[in-house]
Structure formats: structure tokens, C-alpha cells
Amino acid sequence: MSIIIRNLSFSYGSLNALQDINLALQEGCFNALLGPNGAGKSTLFALLSRLYALQSGEITIAGHSIAHHPAQVMRKLGVVFQQSTLDLDLSVAQNLYYHAALHGMSKRQALPRITEELARFDLSQRLHDKVRTLNGGHRRRVEIARALLHQPEILLLDEPSVGLDPATRESLNLHIRQLCRQQQLTVLWATHLIEEVQNDDPVTILFKGRILASDTADQLCQQHQSADISTLFRSLTGTST
């Protein structure tokens, strides 16, 4: 299941944050959305997750138009926002049960899902701890576990590794890649860190609200005769990340 975006534009007053975006994610893959600060990544996430209403263009998620079938879309989608939305004074369990309830799951239905996701992230022992006592990497893992509770087919992550140390960033990135391989999860991972992108990833480079390039990192480098994705990014945008 994938996301298809057609002719999407969005402005904040006179500022065009996204201009004529056309994009189809590769199913079951780690799709990277690469752009410097202000490129429009968070605005795109706000539209995909229905925080913002569409102004123009169309988005189809897992075959459903987000404008016409929002409930079906939300069932298929998991979202991890840039800023943490965990309640620090609730336990991990309380945060997860609350989210499960929002998706219509009873406590009895939620418990095996919570157990499974926390085990996957090596966090089973922290179930009854307050989120405040977890380090940044573990909080991120809880947020991802939460986004996966209702078994979405597509997972959106907006700069999930910001503020984490390099080793934690890498392990999070590898973990998400494993989910793509094992569960055919379709992932959209927004980042401004080029080292988080691998050569065979489908990559979209967003700059000042426009898509400058979209293909696998390898293909893009070949097409533009660039030594690597970092060099290509610099030559296309005039900036380094």
C-alpha cells in the first residue's frame, strides 16, 4: 500500500510552502524525504496526517482519498511527529493504551499488541515506568511502537532522529528498515541528514517547497553524474545538510 500525491500545493498566506508536488511512494520500502530546514517536509506531513486540510491537489493513501475517506486512511497510517507527543507524566502503558483506545481497541485487544511492539523495541521492562524516566532514544522507540499499535501499512516519520546521538540514530534507522523488510511496511522518513539515506533507497529531494529530484539514490547519482547523494544534494540545492 502506498501514498500517491498529485499536484499538491499549500501556502501559509502569501508564502508557498509546497508547490505542485507529485510523488508516489514505493510500497514496502524505506522512502527518504530529504530537505534542509524550511523545505516543506513538516507541512507535507501535516497534510498527509490530516492536521491541515488540503488547499489544492489530491492525496491517496492505501487506495483511499484523504479528502473523501479520512477514516479509512487513518486506519492504514501510523505517524511519528517531529516533536514528541507522549505524556511524560503517564507510564509507557498508559500512553499506549490511550492511543489504542483512540483507534477503537479495547484494553484486552491492546495488551497483546503493546506487549509485541515493546518486545520488538526491547522495552518490555519499561511498561510501567513514567515516560519522563526514559532517555531520548527510548522515548522515540515508544512513539514508534505506539504508531504501529493499530498495525498500519504505512508509517510516516518526521525527522525522528533529531536530538539523538549517532549510535541511537543509526539503530533506529536500521530498525525501521527491518520493519520494511519483515512486514512490507511502507515508510516515509523525512530527514535533513544525508547519512540516513542508503544507495538503493527511493529518495525525494525537497527544496523551497518543490521536488528537485525523485528516484533511488543510485539512479539519481547516475542521472546527474554525481559521486554520491551528498554531492548531488549540494549541487541541486546549493546547500549542505
Site size for ligand ATP (CB under 6 A): 12
Q: Which residues contact 88 (CB under 8 A, 6 or more apart)?
A: 130, 131, 132
From the list 11-19, 66-74, 142-150, 232-240, the region that binds ligand ATP by CB under 6 A is: 11-19
CA 34 – CA 191 distance, rounded (Å): 5
Distance in Å, CB of 11 to ligand ATP, minimum: 9
From the list 35-43, 95-103, 106-114, 226-234, the region that binds ligand ATP by CB under 6 A is: 35-43
Which of 5, 8, 17, 145 binds ligand ATP (CB under 6 A)? It is 17
Which of 12, 83, 128, 227 binds ligand ATP (CB under 6 A)? It is 12
By CB under 6 A, tell whether 14 contacts ligand ATP. Answer: no
Among candidate residues 70, 66, 35, 85, the one with its CA nearest the CA of residue 188: 35
Which of 3, 35, 80, 205 binds ligand ATP (CB under 6 A)? It is 35
Check: CB of residue 196 under 8 Å from CB of residue 32.
yes
Which of 2, 31, 42, 204 binds ligand ATP (CB under 6 A)? It is 42
Which of 7, 22, 37, 239 binds ligand ATP (CB under 6 A)? It is 37
User: At residue 143, what is the residue type?
Assistant: E
CA angle 216, 156, 10 (to 5 degrees): 85
| Helices vs. strands in the chain: H and E counts, helices first | 8, 10
Site for ligand ATP in 180-239 (CB under 6 A): 192
By CB under 6 A, tell whether 134 contacts ligand ATP. Answer: no
Check: CB of residue 187 under 8 Å from CB of residue 31.
yes
Check: CB of residue 221 under 8 Å from CB of residue 227.
yes
As given in the structure block, the three cell numbers for residue 193 are 541528514
Binding footprint of ligand ATP on the chain (CB under 6 A): 12, 15, 17, 35, 37-43, 192
